[in-house]
Structure 1
Amino acid sequence: MAEEKQTNYDVIVVGAGPAGMTAALYASRANLSVLMLDRGIYGGNLNNTAAIENYPGFKTVQGPELAQDMYQGATQFGAQYAYGTVEKVELAGDLKQLTTDMGDVFTAKVLVIATGTQQRHMGVPGEEEYGGRGVSYCAVCDGAFFKNKHVVVVGGGDSAVEEGMYLTQLAKKVTVVVRRDQLRAQPLIQEQAKQNDKMEFIFNTQVTEVLGDDNKVVGVKTHDSKTGKDAEIRADGVFIYVGSVPMTAPFKDLGILNEQGYVKTNDLMATSLPGVFAIGDVRETPLRQIATAVGDGAIAGQQIYQYLMNH
């Protein structure tokens, strides 16, 4: 006889990135039954990150490698993992009920929202049409397709510059198109990039269209906000890093989001709803890094235990 699938837990963590895996580690170590539920492979954005140089304890570490280590740590005390995109959340009394796109229904006394963010799209003609055919939001995933080719990176923050530098290991040339008159990336990252002879920067410029031919990207149209001139850059690929948006669609009716869609919490990671916590990049927070996500997860794990002891 087939073993019946467990559907009821003490804690359900939606999202298995660094924050979610840390919360699962702490909660399961406190002998609570924990399910991590994610729409993809555990690790979240770690899987799209090459070298990480600012996570304490590691001089440098590859994102997918850190994800694997965190997952093994999170599951060693019995936390379980399941695929599925949460489509519906119902709060009935003390129980939280989650329904996924796979048709699974799970219940728990505590819900932890750790769904993170995804890359913002530019919203220009050609961007969606050439997605996966030269338009990408992940250099680690797709950089290998552009060996010895010319690629455009759109954005001026840490992600754009770091991923641009990663692409110089593969591409012949990387042109970074920056909307403002300067980069927003950290000074150290800027210095490294400016010393890289494969990178060039075009400032005060916006991409207005992605150009394609024969089902693949051939370049971008640009607009210079200072001169008012329009131009074209011929390129084989476009990597877009223009910010991120929180993955909070299933929680929009719970009354816990701010105007930007991030989850509001107190310092203990608790939302205004009893037994509902939020951690990591999805939370209203001044810094979105692996280190802060792990800190959030640890605090939440401890608070979950306290909450359940009192309910």
Structure 2
Amino acid sequence: MSDSRHTKVLIIGSGPAGYTAGVYASRAMLSPILVQGMEPGGQLTTTTEVENWPGVNEIQGPELMVNMEAHAKAMGCEIIMDIITDLDLSKRPFTAKGDSGTTYTADAVILATGAKAKWLGLPTEEKFRGFGVSACATCDGFFYRGQEIVVVGGGNTAVEEALFLTNFASKVTLIHRRDELRAEKILIDRLTKNPKIETLWFHEIHEVYGTDSPLGVEGVKVKHTKTGEITDIPAKGVFIAIGHAPASELVKDQLELHNGGYVSVKPGSTETSIPGVFAAGDLTDHKYRQAITSAGMGCMAALDAERFLAEEH
């Protein structure tokens, strides 16, 4: 028998944005329901040390997310392990269908489904992920002081990450499969002037190699895209910067999107193109993508939802 649940505020997603929205919506006495989704805790569950969360010098990513979940629960947020497979925003109350068979109806929806870094898809990249292979220079660059590292990609993200990493690394090799970058001119100019960065054109990563005990990266084998020749590059860190994919499948035909799938929100708010639907965190943010900014937007979304519901009564 399929079960049906109604809530004033349905929060979809369980990263920093979702859980913070849960805390604030609960404190506003809106009795929110939060559906966790495929990856409870979001991207932070796949990171190790987090050293940029204010008030905590260092904490493991998974532990931080367990704490956030417990905080939202303690405030009164109902947290459900389920995956929303279908969302209808065409009329209110909005309707969401869960993989469990439950149908959720809601007066307001907060979307906090996040984004995921795009990966190359190599087995060896998967093996060392979190142990030398990363998709976030601002999160992990600090761990590579005085080391040689490589960055993969050719857009703004890759160039920004390469430049940022020169603060720590002794040498940064930018690997790109073509012979020109898609980044902004000002960034390319900075890159070419930086003595610590070497660009390797017409190459792609063939394999990441390293030690098994302890698990750690020692270097990469790169392949020339025209000749097929394999070259070895020693490196302690490999940063994959080929973009992020926002998890906007549920709403891609219903809400206004921008920059390749991010949900558009009105400036200075979390309001989407449909009244009563709010979006927070990496789902809307192609620029900062930090836990702290996501949490801030989760707070904004809950306050926006509270205001929206209050104005209706």
Matched, 1:192 2:168: yes
Q: CA deviation at 1:50?
A: 1.8
Deviation at 1:287?
A: 1.6
Instruction: Identify if the C-alpha distance between structure 1 residues 259 and 34 changes in structure 2 by more than 3 Å, giving closer, same or farther.
Output: same
Map 1:1-311 to 2 at 5 A: 7-91=5-89, 93-122=91-120, 127=121, 130-131=122-123, 134-136=124-126, 139-140=129-130, 143=131, 153=133, 158=137, 162=141, 165=144, 176-179=150-153, 184-185=160-161, 189-194=165-170, 203-205=199-201, 208=204, 210=206, 220-223=221-224, 230-233=229-232, 240-266=240-266, 267-284=268-285, 286-311=287-312
Secondary structure of the structure 2 residue equivalent to 1:12: strand
For structure 1, the residue ranges without an aligned partner over 5 or more in a row are 144-150, 213-217
C-alpha contact (below 8 Å) 2:111/2:279 kept by paired residues: yes
Rounded Cα–Cα distance in structure 2 between residues aligned with 1:102 and 1:220: 44
Q: Tell me the TM-score normalised to structure 1 length.
A: 0.73
- How far apart are the structure 2 equivalents of 1:13 and 1:137? 33
Residue ranges of structure 2 left out of the alignment (5+ in a row)? 173-195, 209-218
Matched letter for residue 307 of structure 1:
F
How big is each residue's C-alpha offset from its partner over 1:291-310, in whole Å with a ceiling of 9 and x where there is no partner?
Answer: 11111111111111111112
Aligned CA-pair RMSD: 3.9
Distance 1:269 1:297 in 2: 9
Distance of 2:201 and 2:143 partners within structure 1: 17
What is the Cα deviation at residue 61 of structure 1?
Answer: 2.2
Contact map agreement 1:10 1:109 (CA 8 A) in 2:
yes
* Equivalent residues of 1:154, 1:177 under 8 A apart: no
The secondary structure found in structure 2 opposite 1:107 is strand
Taking structure 1 as reference, are residues 221 and 252 closer, same or farther at Cα in structure 2, changes over 3 Å only? same
Does the Cα contact within 8 Å between 2:22 and 2:34 map onto a contact in 1? yes
Three-state SS of the structure 2 residue aligned to 1:286 is coil
The answer on whether the counterparts of 1:223 and 1:231 sit within 8 Å (CA) in structure 2 is yes
Q: Is the 1:160–1:241 Cα contact (8 Å) retained in structure 2?
A: no
